[in-house]
Amino acid sequence: MKRFMATTLLFLALATPAAAGERVVMETSLGSITLELFSDKAPVTVKNFLGYIDRQFYDGTVFHRVIDNFMIQGGGFDQQLQKKAVEAAIANEADNGLKNDKGTLAMARTAVVDSATSQFFINLKDNDFLNHRGKSSQGYGYAVFGRVVAGMEVVEKIGKVATVRKGMHQNLPQPPVVLKSLRRVAEQKK
């Protein structure tokens, strides 16, 4: 009987899908990307990201740093490459157990551990060197807070766009890749 109960519980655990996180849709000039956010693992980061989304902050911004076989980065500059005004920096949640694997969404930051504001990136491959390795500034890592659930082909297409150096920007897509809008999925259904 114990064996039957254990087998049944294991089956139920495997058959029951994990609770899905909130989803958002990113409309770009090259297509749509749907992202699932991990508010259970990165609550501060997800709240921050959704706050920018709700204010329509990302609408009309560009992917300003694209490195093939590494990542695509956006969320900070308008189409004239003017830096947008941002909210205060947030705490780095890179110690949440999530890894910078292909298709994950993470916060961009400076060399300062707790400096992330609005900029994010999507990993084009497993980038283990960006993962949390310790509490030092060199090992803290970059906080993963979501993943691509649809549109990875669009992410990869953005990763293949030709880039140029322009002013202080290296790896700037040419022609520009515009983030037209970023909305919660519920808003898409209206």
First-to-final CA distance of the chain: 51
Q: Could you state, in order of their start, the residue ranges of all structural domains in the chain?
A: 19-188
Beta carbons of 86 and 118 less than 8 angstroms apart? yes
pLDDT band with cut points at 50, 70 and 90 for residue 187: low
Q: Is the C-alpha dihedral spanning 93, 95, 96, 99 positive or negative?
A: positive
pLDDT of residue 186: 79
Gap between the Cα atoms of 139 and 120, Å rounded: 19
Q: How many CB atoms lie within 10 A of CB 132?
A: 20
pLDDT of residue 41: 98
pLDDT band with cut points at 50, 70 and 90 for residue 20: low
Nearest CA-CA partner of 113 in 87, 86, 133, 85: 133
Q: Is pLDDT of 67 > 80?
A: yes
Q: Is pLDDT of 131 > 50?
A: yes
Nearest CA-CA partner of 180 in 79, 73, 71: 79
Q: Is pLDDT of 16 > 60?
A: no
Report residue 47: phi and psi, to 5°. Answer: -60, -45
Which two three-digit tokens encode residue 53? 């989304």
For the stretch 81-92, pLDDT in tens is 999 999 999 999
Gap between the Cα atoms of 97 and 141, Å rounded: 11
State mean pLDDT over 159-174.
96
Gap between the Cα atoms of 154 and 54, Å rounded: 23
Q: How many CB atoms lie within 10 A of CB 69?
A: 10
State mean pLDDT over 169-177.
96
Question: Which fold is adopted by the domain 19-188?
Answer: Cyclophilin (2.40.100)
Nearest CA-CA partner of 35 in 22, 53, 47, 46: 22
